[in-house]
Chain A
Amino acid sequence: NAGVTQTPKFQVLKTGQSMTLQCAQDMNHNSMYWYRQDPGMGLRLIYYSASEGTTDKGEVPNGYNVSRLNKREFSLRLESAAPSQTSVYFCASSVIQQGGEQYFGPGTRLTVT
């Protein structure tokens, strides 16, 4: 039981390059989330998928797109990376019922130069 896995762990991009962050969970959770954490700050929600087949914007969606590929997988794409997107990205999953603990992946540290 791996929980929530993310790939890659580290990535360096040049401004304008694109990449996709992958996330998968094996807990049969309906809901999945992408957050970013800037230095010295709390996490901010980028996009979420309350259930398979749906995605919605969070607090900071600009510059990102997501795909809920199936119940297990939720990817985050940066189409044209900018230095302002340098951050640590966390994927999480939970049951859909209120109060469901969110299980977080280990994070991806992204640097855009």
Chain B
Amino acid sequence: AQKITQTQPGMFVQEKEAVTLDCTYDTSDPSYGLFWYKQPSSGEMIFLIYQGSYDQQNATEGRYSLNFQKARKSANLVISASQLGDSAMYFCAMSLPYMNNNAGNMLTFGGGTRLMVKP
């Protein structure tokens, strides 16, 4: 069975500084995908970034980058130049490889990290 662990229940960061949100995962499958989602207080789930297990380069999307360390099974999210609007819950998630059991892209989520940006 696969598992996602986010060990930081809450974090503070000063506006304009960078912050790293930790995520470790456990799976025996060689093929998987890793996602980060943002959930603001309004409740919607917003996709941020994706990393495939075979991708050679770390994924980047604007101010978001994913620090993928495959041997350590970690997929940390780095947010550069934090903004007040970054205050939200952040979830790391992993997808099963669909070819194995026709599972589509169903996700297993971590427990989340609440990020609070201080002005």
Binding site for B on A (CB under 8 A): 30-31, 33, 35, 40-45, 48-51, 54, 56, 58-59, 88, 90, 92, 94-104, 106-107
Contacts and interface: CB of A to CB of B under 8 A. Distances in A.
A43 B52 contact: no
Interface residues of B, number: 28
Contacts of B98: 50, 96-98
A96 B104 contact: yes
B64 to A, nearest CB: 14
Q: Is the interface of A mostly helix, strand, loop or mixed?
A: loop
Contacts of A104: 37, 44-45
B63 to A, nearest CB: 18
Contacts, number: 83
21 contacts: A31-B106, A33-B107, A41-B111, A43-B109, A45-B106, A45-B107, A48-B103, A48-B106, A50-B102, A56-B103, A90-B45, A94-B105, A96-B104, A97-B105, A98-B97, A98-B98, A99-B52, A99-B95, A102-B105, A106-B43, A107-B44
